[in-house]
A and B are shown apart, each in its own frame.
Chain A
Amino acid sequence: MSFSPVTQASKGVGTPTTRLIGLIAIASLAWVLFGGLVATPPEVTQGESVRIMYVHVPSAWVAYLAFITTAVASASYLLSRRRSLGFDRVAGASAEVGVVFMGITLVSGSLWGRLTWGTFWQWDPRLTTTSFLFVTYLGYLAVRGLGGTHHQRAKRSAILALLAVLEIPLVHFSVVLWRSLHQRASVLSTDGDVKMDGLMLFTLLVGVVAFTATFAWLVMHRQRVLAMRDIVESRKLDVAIAQRTGEGN
């Protein structure tokens, strides 16, 4: 896997690696679609609504994977001696894709919750933490868009990503403590746990692979697009400087 910036726009951003990952994503997504909607049986207590799981669980996994990727890439940027902007672009790309998957997780989760718990929203620690992670990411992306030089952007957003690593466990812990002192919602009909047969578990695992491959494909492409954008911005600056110095002569 290579994150080197692409210098010739005419080449596009695809490479043999991304094409292979793309093919894996398409093939496994096709199985999730067939397996999730047709091949797997409905669940004993939840009925057909259990099919939401094949989207919800993998997207939640990817959302947290994206969060970890952003944090690791940010730390790598700050710790690397060369301060390579490649790490920053991976962090940014991963955060952008992560926000989308976190949105999918929250929407699919609340639909599933309506069907199994009888309510769209419950103050469950996992739910609350995920929604806070979503808002934190939105803030992170807003800070990325503040402007300044590329290294200013990289440093600022890397610090913010690492602060989020401190924030999210504190939020999670405080919500756990909060809920443990309160009565549980009585609308709960089932606890949301699913008894799975082999085919269901297999489809769910394929779903995780499919979503992970999609995430990797999107991040690799996106970080290359970001690299191109950085190059364009630098060139514009060079051209502008050249024009100004030209005027002076």
Chain B
Amino acid sequence: MKRVNVLGIARMIARKDLKVEWRGRVLVNQVLPFAALVMVMFAFALDGDDLLQRAASGLAWMATVLSMFVVISRSFLVDTEDGALDAMRTAGLDMRGVYVGKSMALFLQLLVLNVVLIALSLLLYHVSLTFESAVLLVAIVVCATAGLAFVGVLYGGLAALSKGRETLLPLLVLPVVAPVVIGAARATESAYGTAGARVGEGWPWVGLLFVFAVAFAIAGLLSFPSLIEE
């Protein structure tokens, strides 16, 4: 049998997850409408253009985190329901590859989600961008989404072992992603120029988001195989 390295497995798993998503269209048909609804509901709850503009960055990221739970649960449900995760283990796949692959797939899905949500926040809450702030925004979205994806797959795998206890995932993940929510929301505030923030103030936060993503990527690579192999 041909031996496949970690990156090869990662590519395979990512392709599989994205294919499953493409065929099921859960992201497009359910998660995106859900996230958009959350954004509209925020507007209802926080009546007033000033307040919405001030809160726009935080709301976009909270909507991302809330929608992320749906995507993660779905991703692992597909794997556990018909024992695919066990089958991958039995086949002797390197679980680090599975971790990277699932993270890549989740990253791409969250990226789509994020772009739509940020665009929505620009439209709904009347925020405008300059070239400088757009560059900052791209950096924020990439770093924060990577952090969310690495954490999401790591804890999603753990929660997937607890069949029928989906409530566990938010309890485990929300405290961990707090730095991402703080960092991404504050940095996005700088990009939007709301609350008197300047664009330059956003970059230290991007640094934090980057460190977070790297730290959890390493932690995930080290611990995911042990969490799954039981």
Contacts and interface: CB of A to CB of B under 8 A. Distances in A.
A163 B153 CA distance: 14
Given A143-B172, A155-B230, A163-B223, 11 more contacts: A135-B171, A135-B175, A138-B171, A139-B168, A146-B161, A156-B161, A160-B172, A170-B179, A174-B208, A177-B208, A178-B182
Given A152-B230, A163-B223, A142 B171 contact: yes
B217 to A, nearest CB: 12
Nearest to B174: A135
Nearest to B176: A167
A53 B23 CA distance: 60
B165 interface: yes
| Binding site secondary structure of chain A | helix
Interface in A123-173: 132, 135-136, 138-139, 142-143, 146, 148, 152, 155-156, 159-160, 162-163, 166-167, 170-171, 173
B174 to A, nearest CB: 8
A99 to B, nearest CB: 13
A181 interface: yes
Contacts of B182: 174-175, 177-178
A171 B179 CA distance: 5
Contact of B162 (A146, A159, A163): A146
B86 interface: no
Interface in A50-72: none
Nearest to B170: A139
Contacts of A148: 161, 230
A166 B186 CA distance: 22
Contacts of B77: none
Interface in B201-224: 201, 204-205, 208, 211-212, 215-216, 219, 223
B175 A139 contact: yes
Given A146-B162, A162-B223, A163-B219, A177 B172 contact: no
Contacts of B154: 163
Residue with the highest number of chain A CB atoms closer than 10 Å, among B172, B174, B201, B219: B172
Interface residues of B, number: 29
Interface of A: 132, 135-136, 138-139, 142-143, 146, 148, 152, 155-156, 159-160, 162-163, 166-167, 170-171, 173-175, 177-178, 181
B158 interface: yes
Contacts of A160: 158, 172
B20 interface: no
A178 to B, nearest CB: 5
A177 B168 CA distance: 29
Contact of A174 (B183, B216, B219): B183
A229 B165 CA distance: 23
A166 B161 contact: no
Contacts of A170: 179, 211-212, 215
A136 B168 CA distance: 11
Contact of A171 (B168, B175, B211, B227): B175
Contacts of B179: 170-171, 173-174
B226 interface: yes
A138 B167 CA distance: 13
A53 B59 CA distance: 38
Contacts of A159: 223, 226-227
Interface in B51-88: none
A139 to B, nearest CB: 5
